Amino acid sequence: MQTLAQHLQQQAIPESLTQLLLTLADTSKSISQAVRHGALAGILGATEQENVQGETQKKLDVITNDMLKDALQASGHVRGLASEEEDYVVPVSDAGEYLVCFDPLDGSSNIDINSLVGTIFSVLPALQGELTEQSFLQSGRQQVAAGYVLYGPSTILALTVGKGVSFFTLNPDSGAFLLTQDDVQITKDTAEFAINMSNQRFWEAPMQTYIADLLLGKIGPREKSFNMRWIAAMVGDVHRVLCRGGIFTYPTDNKNPEKPYKLRLMYEANPMAFLVEQAGGKATTGYQSILDIQPEAIHQRVAVILGSANEVDTCLEYHAEDYSGDEPTL
């Protein structure tokens, strides 16, 4: 099997990007070890701190964030970084060619029940001039690489450099990421959806109607049965979509009018949308392509609907029928 390093050498990408991606992969191996030790290492449970999102940080949130920061600062290829666990962007090196945005441990609410968690990352080109938050506010179309690492029964890296999507599995014996699936493709049709049904009463009318029709199954207008799956970790739900198709959505809701969206654009929605589009799927807010959004802030949140192309199109038809104004404001 091809190693990750061998695969990247064949992709005709800059050597600096290859080295950066290998740094991210190597750090994920250390994170995988930390996750596997769990309670044995005394790293489960929450801290007494909150991140910029107002969410209580888990111990592993802080640990994995520091691991990635240290590795990226030592890589020599990173101009600056942004993280879910950092209030502000972090300058790294004036000589760095790239900016890295990441969620160090997506699904951290799953840590204490030993369920799926992962690391999500996005790589952008570093722009000339002083490094500020504005430097990061590039649309998802500008990403030069994106991926995630899923820490499950096996540790899997999903990666794109804009030339399709590949899966690599960590060999626990050799410590190498080996190519286990190339040219990943999402099926265009599906009978599976993922959504947090507990928020149903707070959704916009188009999503209410769409999901209600899915639940009616063969006796409804869709005339086929659908199954629901929900892991409560975006990295796990998107991995399932990449593996066997489906539609994943965390839509707009009015549960908290000040926060109508759940997922973060820069280090969750953008990298996942890049992966999904590279695998033949679609990713949208319900009103526009995620990758075409012009970011306004590093911790900006957006609605997310992504997955099998034909099913996403069907969901968009519901939004078009009910849509008669501007998308809800942030």
Assess whether 152 and 196 both reside in one domain: no
In the chain, the number of structural domains is 2
Beta-carbon contacts of 157 under 8 Å, excluding residues fewer than 6 positions away, are: 4, 25, 28, 147, 148, 149, 150, 167, 168, 169, 170, 177
Q: Is 84 annotated as a binding residue?
A: yes
User: What is the per-residue burial (b if ≥16 Cβ within 10 Å, else e) of 123-158?
Assistant: bbebbeeebeeebbbbbbeebbbbbbbbbbeebbbb
Do the domain assignments include residue 329?
no
Instruction: Confirm whether residue 107 is marked as ligand binding.
Output: yes
| 110 annotated binding-site participant | no
Asked if residue 227 and residue 111 are part of one domain, the reply reads no
**Same domain, residue pair 42 and 12:** yes
Domain with 27, as residue range(s), is 4-181
Buried b (16+ CB within 10 A) or exposed e, 282-321: bbbbbbeebbebebeebbebbbbbbbbbbbbebbbebbee
The answer on whether 55 is annotated among ligand-binding residues is no
Pair 113, 212 in one domain: no
- Tell me the pLDDT of the chain (330 aa) as tens digits: 899 999 999 999 999 999 999 999 999 999 999 888 877 767 666 665 767 666 667 788 899 999 999 999 999 999 999 999 999 999 999 999 999 999 999 988 888 888 899 999 999 999 988 999 999 999 999 999 999 999 999 999 999 999 999 999 999 999 999 999 999 999 999 999 999 999 999 999 999 999 999 999 999 999 999 999 999 999 999 999 999 999 999 999 999 888 899 999 999 999 999 999 999 999 999 999 999 999 999 999 999 999 999 999 999 999 997 655 454 433
Q: Is 108 known as a binding-site position?
A: yes
Q: Does residue 105 have a known ligand-binding role?
A: yes
Annotated binding-site residue? 196 = yes
Whether 328 is in a domain gets the answer no
101 and 26 inside one domain: yes
Residue 208 belongs to some domain of the structure: yes
Within 10 Å of residue 166's Cβ, how many Cβ atoms? 24
